[in-house]
Amino acid sequence: MVVAIVALVVAASGTALAADKLVNGDSLIKRDSLSGNRLRTASVTGKEIKLSSLGQVPSAKHATNAEELGGHPASAFVQGASTVVHSGLVTAAGGQTVTLGTFGPFTVSLQCNDDGGGTFDSAVMVTSSSSNSEAAGNALTAGTAQEIDDAGPDSQFSDNAGGTLEDFVAAPGAYEAYVIDGIFMPGTTAPCAASLLVAKS
């Protein structure tokens, strides 16, 4: 009896060992035989999924759903998306002209005029490449600079009270300059300064 029991134990353990070595789990389960609800909740993670094999969500096949928001591109919802120029504070030395920004056919520049005797005139100029355009309500001649804001000359700091609000129109585009500052800062190596913030109207 003892010999028979020992023989049975040895035989059983040998079979289990063989099964462990020879049987593959994939061969025990028939392909496409399990439903999704047979898997333990949250047991499949991104680690087990080949992301490149995933297709587009069926309801997002149309470009409006997949790439746009309510028919508008995502860029339309980015804060400041309509801003086309944001120059920050730009400075210029006497006799120097520096571009503040370009949008549509318009180029807006800071012109620092040396008036002699330590005084300077800080002027903001606009030039259009279009023969049919206007700025600040005035028609522009293509290629000719026109002054739209200035500060100085003076012997002390001068600022045009936060700048002015200007419209720029050149069909089919229209822009609004929210801030244009002409600033005169005497006693500095770059006494003229200006800033420009433009958005589509």
Mean per-residue pLDDT for 159-168?
76
Digit-coded pLDDT (tens) for 129-161 = 998 899 988 899 999 999 988 877 666 677 766
pLDDT at 51 over 50: yes
Average pLDDT over residues 65-90: 61
58 vs 62: CA distance, rounded Å: 9
Which range among 31-40, 105-114, 120-129 shows the weakest confidence by mean pLDDT? Answer: 31-40
The DSSP bridge pattern shows strands 90-92 and 83-86 to be unpaired
Beta bridge partners of 124: 110, 149
Does pLDDT of 128 surpass 90?
yes
Model pLDDT, residue 90 = 92
Supply the pLDDT for residue 44. Answer: 72
Q: For the residues 103-115, what does the mean pLDDT come to?
A: 91
- pLDDT value for 55: 64
CA distance 26 to 13: 23
pTM of structure: 0.57
**At residue 85, does pLDDT exceed 70?**
yes
Q: What percentage of residues in the chain have a pLDDT greater than 90?
A: 19
* Distance, first Cα to last Cα, the chain: 100
